[in-house]
Amino acid sequence: MHIQSVLVSLFAVASAHVSMRSPCVRYTPFCETCPELPAGQSLDENINAPIGTHDSIKQPLCKYTTPYGTPAAHWTAGSTVTVDFHPHAAVHGGGHCQFALSYDGGNTFVVIHDELRYCFTGGPSSSNTGSKLEYQIALPSDLPSGDKVVFAWAWNNAIGNREFYMNCADVSIQGKAGGSFSGPQMLVANYGPATPFIPEFNGNYETGIDLYNNRKMITINGSGAYSNSTAAPATGGSGATYSGGAGTSQPGNGGSAGAPAPVPVPAPSPSTPLAPGGSGAYSAGLPPIIGTDIPTSAGSGSPTYAVLSVPAMTPPPMFSTKPAGGNGGYNAVSSAPVYHARVAVIPSSSGNAYSAAPSPTCSCKHVVKY
């Protein structure tokens, strides 16, 4: 059908990167069974080239936004489809690939399969020659039906310039009428300065994995509408296929799933001065005084005192402190307000004698040094 495809391919080999061959992507010169080109469009002699780098955008997402007039493939939800890439690919040591679907014309993509770390190589590699250029992609069974669905492949390479590659194919899907599907929203990185930056791997294939593990979960339906999903963030790995619903991944044929996403730790709240004896005061919850109340003799002469044993106090964890004076107290070394407590004693009714308060009462001082 494309008479000039052979001539074009000779040019393309000289500047080869990677392009998807099947299903037939928009305006590729490497497929004899593609639908007719839309009016006014021409074959892309650089179909393998990236659409952007970390500091510039060269082409829109999908490379081209005008779809074919008819689908290039007809798929059924729940089936497995073959996706393959042209053998003249230069794979730049592998990297992270996503396979995704859009029901709104290519504006929003939900990921159905990941090949992270070792896409095209199957393992760590410094080679430009791909050892794995075909993937079996399981279509989730709860995909909505659609006659104008966009299937996308997106790639962030491991070695070389920081680039973003993307091809799109127009497909139809016979799925669940009125259905919906939940999965990770496709990550777009190294596509202009406003997108996340994934540096060159330099042998570390965990590079950028945190960005994939923290992709936002979305839910799409057949009308093209989408919404944020309440599902947990997906932790996709090499060969992870998303089944929808709970946002979890099932291991595919590419390896094991990646590390779980880090759990965010909330920042500590600012310290608020609290009144002594209040439920939130530093003294709250201290155990009773150990031993007896201070026994004294209230006669003539100086009173005598017994040792008052008080449980050692633990400084608030949000401040940095150090032991001071060997007596169990603490000196604050933070410039922020710190509140420590002393057990107060009150006069007894027996002359100069003193006794401990029935319940420890705290007299809080600002930056007290013992």
Q: Identify the band that residue 97 occupies on the pLDDT scale cut at 50, 70 and 90.
A: very high
Q: Would the pLDDT of 54 be above 70? A: yes
- pTM for this entry: 0.62
Q: Return the minimum-mean-pLDDT range out of 28-32, 148-152, 173-177, 198-202.
A: 28-32
Res. 118: pLDDT tops 80: yes
173 pLDDT more than 60? yes
When pLDDT is cut at 50, 70 and 90, the band that residue 126 belongs to is confident
pLDDT, residue 116, reads 97
| Three-state secondary structure of the chain | CCCCHHHHHHHHHHCCCCCEEECCCCCCCCCCCCCCCCCCCCCCCCCCCCCEECCEECCCCCCCCCCCCCCCEEEECCCEEEEEECCCCCCCCCEEEEEEEECCCCCCCEEEEEECCECCCCCCCCCCCCCCCEEEEECCCCCECEEEEEEEEEEEECCCCCEEEEEEEEEEEECECCCEEEEEECCCCCCCCCCCCCCCCCCCCCCCHHHHHCCCEEEEECCCCEEECCCCCCCCCCCEEECCCCCCEEECCCCCCCCCCCCCCCCCCCCCCCCCCCCCCCCCCCCCCECCCCCCCCCCCCCCCCCCECCCCCCCCCCCEEEECCCCEEEECCCCCCEEEEECEEECCCCCCEEECCCCCEEEEECCCC
Task: Check pLDDT > 80 for residue 332.
Answer: no
pLDDT at 127: 80
Q: Are 93 and 230 in contact (CB under 8 A)?
A: no
Pairwise CA distance, residues 224 & 229, whole Å: 15
Token readout for 329 is: 């107290």
Separation between Cα atoms, residue 41 and residue 250, nearest integer Å: 40
d(CA 171, CA 156): 24
Phi/psi-derived region of residue 315, left when phi > 0, alpha when psi is between -120 and 50, beta in every other case: beta
pLDDT number for residue 87: 85
Of the ranges 191-200, 245-254, 299-308, 329-338, the best mean pLDDT one: 191-200
Q: Band of the pLDDT at 239, cuts 50, 70, 90?
A: low
More confident residue, 237 or 163: 163
The whole-number average pLDDT for the span 29-55 is: 91
pLDDT at residue 18 above 70? yes
pLDDT at 163 over 70: yes
